[in-house]
């Protein structure tokens, strides 16, 4: 068990809808990362927060947004969903924000858009 908790585990929704994915980092970790894993693209970095502030941005669509709250949990919001958004979404946390310590991953949220 990595100590990172993601909810829900599974989510099925229709095109055009909006969903929120939630992540609780390991105790003591200040940095949260979101990754998308689809069948044909491996793990794609979306966004990173450190102690409530956005630290780095990857290939995150404008329809997607995230935030990290004062208690350090994070949410990833996906809107105007398309079929191609179906994927596994992973949250990871680390102690530092500079990417020089291991990321510890949750078990992901599997999103299916129908």
Partner 1 sequence: GESVGLHLPTLSVQEGDNSIINCAYSNSASDYFIWYKQESGKGPQFIIDIRSNMDKRQGQRVTVLLNKTVKHLSLQIAATQPGDSAVYFCAERDSSYKLIFGSGTRLLVRP
Binding interface with partner 1 (CB under 8 A):
2, 4, 33, 35, 37-40, 42-45, 48, 55-56, 58, 88, 90, 92, 97-100, 102-108, 110
- Closer to partner 1 by Cβ: residue 10 or 71: 10
Shortest distance, position 76 Cβ to partner 1, whole Å: 15
Contact call for residues 92 and 33 (beta carbons, < 8 A):
yes
- Closer to partner 1 by Cβ: residue 66 or 92: 92
Shortest distance, position 100 Cβ to partner 1, whole Å: 5
């Amino acid at each position: 068990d990595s100590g990172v908790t993601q909810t829900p585990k599974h989510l099925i929704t229709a095109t055009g809808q909006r969903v929120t994915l939630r992540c609780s980092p390991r105790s003591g970790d200040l940095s949260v990362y979101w990754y998308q894993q689809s069948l044909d693209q491996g793990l794609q970095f979306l966004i990173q927060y450190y102690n409530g502030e956005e630290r780095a941005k990857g290939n995150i669509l404008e329809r997607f947004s995230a935030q990290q709250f004062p208690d350090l949990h994070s949410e990833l919001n996906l809107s105007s969903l398309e079929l191609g958004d179906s994927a596994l979404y992973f949250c990871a946390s680390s102690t530092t924000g500079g990417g020089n310590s291991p990321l510890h991953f949750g078990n992901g949220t599997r999103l299916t858009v129908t």
